[in-house]
Structure 1
Amino acid sequence: MINPAKLEEIAKQITDNMPQGVKNLADTIEGKTKQAIQNKLAEMDFVSRDEFDIQSQVLIRTREKLTELEEKVALLEQQLASKQDEQ
């Protein structure tokens, strides 16, 4: 298996040995690429992980409440049917 620390060390050595002009160009390209990606992501309709987790919990509670209400309605329907049968 490849050692990530070794890869990092090799990448650092390569970067350290690059001419300054290439380093500047790489930094510029990296910065512009990050900015472009951030701009595109900002345009998309994403939610944060926290908001997703909150909405997941709301959905779980809503499902639980719906199940409870379904059970109550079924019980009331049974009671109503029993009363109608008695008449």
Structure 2
Amino acid sequence: MIDLNHIDELARRLSSLVPPGLRESRDELQQNFKSVLQSGLSKLDLVTREEFDVQRAVLLRTREKLEQLQRAVAELEAQVGAAPTGSAPGDPLPPRH
């Protein structure tokens, strides 16, 4: 979730920008700013830093596994390509008569 301390601080900053004639309703404005900020942020599709870090770690492990598999396939293809028997796996089939 969103850190409410950041929202409170932003609401305080916004209310401090209110012109001096409206300062008597400063607390009410600050609460309104806070509500608007919370409402707007809740509509966004955000994730926590922890969730982001977990998904990043999963992606890195997946990428490493993919690279290992690509190397293994390349080695197997090299072995098959070096074998002197018949056609390679990617060669087209001979025509049928």
Give the TM-score of the pair, scaled to structure 2.
Answer: 0.62
Q: Equivalents in 2 of 1:57, 1:48: separation in Å?
A: 14
Partner of 2:6: none
Partner of 1:44: 44
TM-superposed CA distance for 1:57, in Å, is 0.4
Count of paired positions: 64
**Cα RMSD (Å):** 1.5
Which structure has greater helix proportion? Answer: 1
Q: Equivalents in 2 of 1:30, 1:54: separation in Å?
A: 35
One-letter identity of the residue aligned with 2:73: V
Q: Provide the secondary structure at the position in 1 that maps to 2:45.
A: coil
Q: Equivalents in 2 of 1:33, 1:51: separation in Å?
A: 28
Unaligned residue ranges in structure 2 (runs of 5+): 1-22, 86-97
Partner of 2:16: none
TM-superposed CA distance for 1:55, in Å, is 0.6
One-letter identity of the residue aligned with 1:45: D
Identity over aligned residues, as a percent? 40
Unaligned residue ranges in structure 1 (runs of 5+): 1-20
TM-superposed CA distance for 1:82, in Å, is 1.1
Give the TM-score of the pair, scaled to structure 1.
Answer: 0.68
